[in-house]
Amino acid sequence: MAHSSRKSGHRQSRRVAAPARSDVEVLVYRWGPRIDPGLLALALTHRSFAHENGGLPTNERLEFLGDSVLGIVVTEYLYRTHPDVTEGQLAKMRAATVSEPALAAVARDLGLGEFIRLGKGEALSGGRDKDSILSDTVEALIGATYLTQGLEPTRAVVERLVARFLSSARTRGAGLDWKTSLQELTAAHGLGGPRYEVEGVGPDHERIFTARAIVDGEVRGQGTGTSKKIAEHEAAEAAYASILASRGDGGLNLPGVNEALRADLALMTVSGTRGGAADVLESEG
């Protein structure tokens, strides 16, 4: 009889087991605000674990809530700190800040992957380091923090966790589509639209393309890549930086931008964000 009870207790512990207490304390310390223990366990429960353990609740509803809270916090922050920026630019900046790669980077900073409750198959397939799972779990934790603490403490933790992305939001926002950003920048300066010259070298299966972005009759940027698209985007990024550098002091400044754009240009070099467009395009295949 005692043997049967032990078996039953073992099955139950598998269904509700959360990370060990010491592990949870490490995560909560890194995260910041206290989270209700039940909500914390739920936020860390991926659907693969839930399905393998009899249909437990998953973190997807918390993720839905957290996504909305994250959106309002980031949107309000950008609105307050960038009064000169248009609605379209704000949208790009927000998208860059709350993107899947950005949130996955936050998760890796926290060491979050080791705490996520995954099914055996998902864990074996590398789920603890998948951007999609990591970013979704960050959003679920934001949702759990909001339900436990309310908006203001949640705002504080969000702004702290994504601070580096907020500080480079203008440049990262441009980097979502360098060709469009360059088009907008040249139009604002009255330089006319950019055009691109592309050349390819090498055999078809390993061809390398070089693109030049030409603005107002002058080559302002050059890029290389394994496709014309990647090469053109790198050239557009280089041209964008070149025009900001040459026009940032005096000349035809963008209305209201001035110091902020020069700071963003410095961030492109110091933080290593240049070249990011190629990485994104490579990941798109």
pLDDT for 185-214, tens place per residue? 888 888 888 999 999 998 887 889 999 999
**Burial class of residue 255, CB neighbours in 10 A (0-12, 13-18, 19+):** exposed
Q: How far apart are CA 21 and CA 147, in angstroms?
A: 21
The confidence score (pLDDT) of residue 259 equals: 41
* Residue extents of the structural domains in the chain: 2-166, 171-284
Of residues 245 and 216, more confidence is placed in 216
Of residues 263 and 63, more confidence is placed in 63
Q: How far apart are CA 29 and CA 40, in angstroms?
A: 13
Residues 240 and 182 sit within 8 Å (Cβ to Cβ): yes
Which residues participate in catalysis according to the annotation? 67, 139
| Range with lowest mean pLDDT among 31-35, 204-208, 246-250 | 246-250
Tokens of 107: 């998760």
> What sections of the chain are H helices per DSSP?
2-16, 21-31, 37-43, 47-52, 60-81, 87-97, 100-110, 120-124, 131-149, 151-161, 163-167, 169-175, 178-188, 228-247, 259-270, 276-284
Look at residues 65, 251, 224 and name the one whose alpha carbon lies nearest to residue 141. Answer: 65
Across 130-140, average pLDDT: 95
The confidence score (pLDDT) of residue 260 equals: 41
Fold of 171-284: Double Stranded RNA Binding Domain (3.30.160)
Q: Which residues pair with 196 in a beta bridge?
A: 213
The confidence score (pLDDT) of residue 21 equals: 42
The confidence score (pLDDT) of residue 116 equals: 95
Distance of CA 23 to the CA centre of its chain: 26
Residue 253 DSSP symbol: P
Q: How far apart are CA 155 and CA 138, in angstroms?
A: 14
Residues 77 and 159 sit within 8 Å (Cβ to Cβ): yes
Of residues 146 and 30, more confidence is placed in 146
Q: How far apart are CA 12 and CA 107, in angstroms?
A: 29
Q: What is the pLDDT of residues 159-174, one digit of tens each?
A: 999 998 888 777 666 5
CATH node for 2-166: 1.10.1520.10
Residues 171 and 267 sit within 8 Å (Cβ to Cβ): yes
